[in-house]
Amino acid sequence: MQALLLGANPAASRFGAWTTPVVNRPWIEHLVSRGREQGVLELVVAVGQQDGPELMGLLGDGSRFGMRVAYLTGWESFGTAGTIKVAEPLLRDRFAVFHPAAIHAFRLDEAMAFHAGRDALATLCLTPSGRDSPYGIAKVGSEGDVLSLVPEPSPQNAPSNLLNSGVYMMSKSALSHIPEGRHVSLENETFPLLIGNGSKISGYIPDTYCMMATSPESYAQLHWDLLDRKLPLSISGTEMNEQGIWIGKGAVIGKGVLLVPPVVIGAYAKIGDKAIVGPYSVIGSHSSIGQGARISKTIVPARSVVADSSRISEHAYGSGVSVAEATL
């Protein structure tokens, strides 16, 4: 299988990016690891400037993930469909397309088999979970075809509860409907055009996890779901006696520390004496938690510093934020 990565919306929050950490590991690493297990052997990266350099550093040529990675360079921002059109020479007859905001556990091999079996131009992976999607809400008919895709409808005008995840299976023949050399949106232009002209656009609704990580609240919730084992992604570190306490390599736990599960301590993090961490907390790698600090229901980004005796609860900080500064 071949997959194409699209870039984050420049106007999107910092949570909806390929490099957004999910339990101390960039989301893209979770995706490619699971993708490789499901038969994704080739990746085309077309993300522009926002994530490009960091993604190249993370993925390289793909060899450490057991796949090939090609980078689309020297192109302008042509929108989601326009970017796929630019990538057309690199694409196979069928390929998967990913937006970064959806954190999911889709079986890509099953989704592609569904798409091929229906002989559709495109198949949208849909989910009834969550409250909104940056990629629109779909209405699906009794035969499984997508009847409409409405971008950002008001609650009273939503055609259904089926959120478009931004994960698609596509046939290359669909690209003949995308004009060249201008900005074109898949969700606002191409898919509505194909639906309107009677082309087969299918809706795939797997019974599996999907969350749109576009806000602090949704970003936090996906972590709590993961710690509750509702989201089957790997958690870095060693779980202590299957008790929901994960401790990363080189982490230093001080005297009298209480770790309340579920909790994740990142690699080389330092937890000061008599600190209480958890429940539902993720401490980023190389972070330092001060003596006597109390942290619960909080995601602390990598390389953060929490002052002695701090009290932090119910916060989801983006990467690069100093927690000590944020709480003073």
Say how many CA atoms lie within 13 Å of 82 toward its Cβ: 14
pLDDT given for residue 76 in this prediction? 66
pLDDT tens per residue, range 246-284: 999 999 999 999 999 999 999 999 999 999 999 999 999
Kindly tell me the sign of the dihedral angle through the C-alpha atoms of 128, 318, 284, 282: negative
pLDDT given for residue 154 in this prediction? 67
How far apart are alpha carbons 251 and 266 in whole angstroms? 7
The CA-based dihedral angle spanning residues 247, 248, 249, 252, taken in that order and rounded to the nearest 10 degrees? -60
Q: Please, are residues 8 and 47 in contact by the beta-carbon 8 Å criterion?
A: yes
Query: pLDDT: is 219 or 252 the higher one?
Result: 252
pLDDT given for residue 9 in this prediction? 67
Residue 132 binned pLDDT confidence (cut-offs 50, 70, 90): confident
| C-alpha dist (Å) from residue 23 to 165, 247, 301 | 21, 12, 10
How far apart are alpha carbons 84 and 177 in whole angstroms? 11
Q: Nearest to residue 94, comparing CAs of 175, 153, 15? A: 175
Q: Nearest to residue 27, comparing CAs of 39, 15, 41? A: 15
pLDDT given for residue 133 in this prediction? 82
Q: What's the pTM?
A: 0.90
Give the pLDDT mean for 201-226: 92
* For residue 325, pLDDT beyond 60: no
pLDDT tens per residue, range 94-106: 999 999 999 999 9
